[in-house]
Structure 1
C-alpha cells in the first residue's frame, strides 16, 4: 500500500513536470509564436526555437522510453538529440513535435501515477537511475530549455512581457 508521503511526492513531481509553479510553462513559451520566428537563430546563440522544441521532444522521449523499457537504445550524444534543420519543414512538422511533447509528458505522468512503479528502486538497467530521478531530469531539462525559448523570444521582440 502506498503511503501518504509517496502520494505527495508523486503529486509534486507531476506538478513540477507540468511546470508553471515558479515560471512559465512550455505551452506559455510556445503560445502565439509567429510562424516566421520558429527557425530564427539570434546573433550569438547556437539554435532556434524549433531546434530547442525538437531537442525537448527527443530528450523527453528518450527519458520516457528508458524508464519503460530496458531494451531501449538512446540516440547518440549529442547529434542524436539535436536537429540539424533550423526550422520545421512545415506547420505539420511543428505541430507534430509539440503534440508529441504533450503525449510523452502524459505518458510519463502515467508512469508516475502507477502505484506499482516505485519511485526509489533503481531500474534493473542503467547505472542507478530511478523513476524519481528521471522525473526530476525531465522537469529540470524542460524548464531550462523553456527559459531559453523565452529568452530567444525576448531577443526577437516576440515575448509578451
Structure 2
C-alpha cells in the first residue's frame, strides 16, 4: 500500500493534468480554428489567445518561484497578461501551448522529488503543496473560460 504522501502526489498529478471532474487544458484547446484565437466575444475582456498566454505566464512564474531562491515577482497585472488579442501566427500559439506542457511536466517532477510541506525560505509561507494547488486551481478557472468562449463562438463540441 502506498504511503499517504505518495497518494497525495498521485492525486496532485491528476489534478494538475486536468482533474477528473471537468475538461482539461488539452481538450479545451483541441482543434481550435486559428482565426478564432484572437476573437473577443461581446462583453468579455479577453480572447482565447490571451487566456492561454496568461496560463503560460502564471504557471511559469509559479514554477520559477518554486525553483529559484532569487525569485523576483512579476508586476500584477501587467506582466501576467499579453497586450495582443491574437498570436502573431499559429506557431506562436503552438509555442505557448508547448511551454505550458513543458513547465507542467517540470512542476510535476518537483512534486515527485520535493518537500510538499516546508515553506520556501524566499516566500511568505508558500509551500510546494500550495503552489501545486494554486496552479491547478488557476488553470482550471481559465480553462473553463476558454470553453465558454468556444461556446460563444460556436466552436465547442
TM class by shorter chain equals over 0.9
User: Per-residue CA shift, 1:20-65, capped at 9, x if unaligned?
Assistant: 4000110000000111000000000000000000000000000001
- The corresponding residue for 1:63 is 62
Query: Aligned partners of 1:50 and 1:57: how far apart in 2?
Result: 11
Q: Secondary structure at the match of 1:66?
A: helix
Query: Aligned partners of 1:54 and 1:75: how far apart in 2?
Result: 15
Query: Aligned partners of 1:73 and 1:89: how far apart in 2?
Result: 28
Structure 1 runs (4+) greater than 3 angstroms displaced: none
Equivalent residues in 2 for 1:12-161, closer than 5 Å: 12-114=11-113, 117-160=114-157
- The corresponding residue for 2:4 is 5
Query: Structure 1 residue 113: deviation in Å?
Result: 1.1
Q: Which runs of 5+ in 1 are unaligned?
A: none
Question: If the length of structure 1 is used for normalisation, what is the TM-score?
Answer: 0.95
Query: Aligned partners of 1:69 and 1:35: how far apart in 2?
Result: 35
Question: If the length of structure 2 is used for normalisation, what is the TM-score?
Answer: 0.98
Q: Which runs of 5+ in 2 are unaligned?
A: none
Say what the alpha-carbon RMSD is for the aligned residues: 0.8
Count residues with an aligned counterpart.
156
Tell which deviates more after alignment, 39-48 or 117-126.
117-126
Tell which deviates more after alignment, 20-29 or 101-110.
20-29
Query: Aligned partners of 1:72 and 1:45: how far apart in 2?
Result: 33
Query: Structure 1 residue 73: deviation in Å?
Result: 1.3
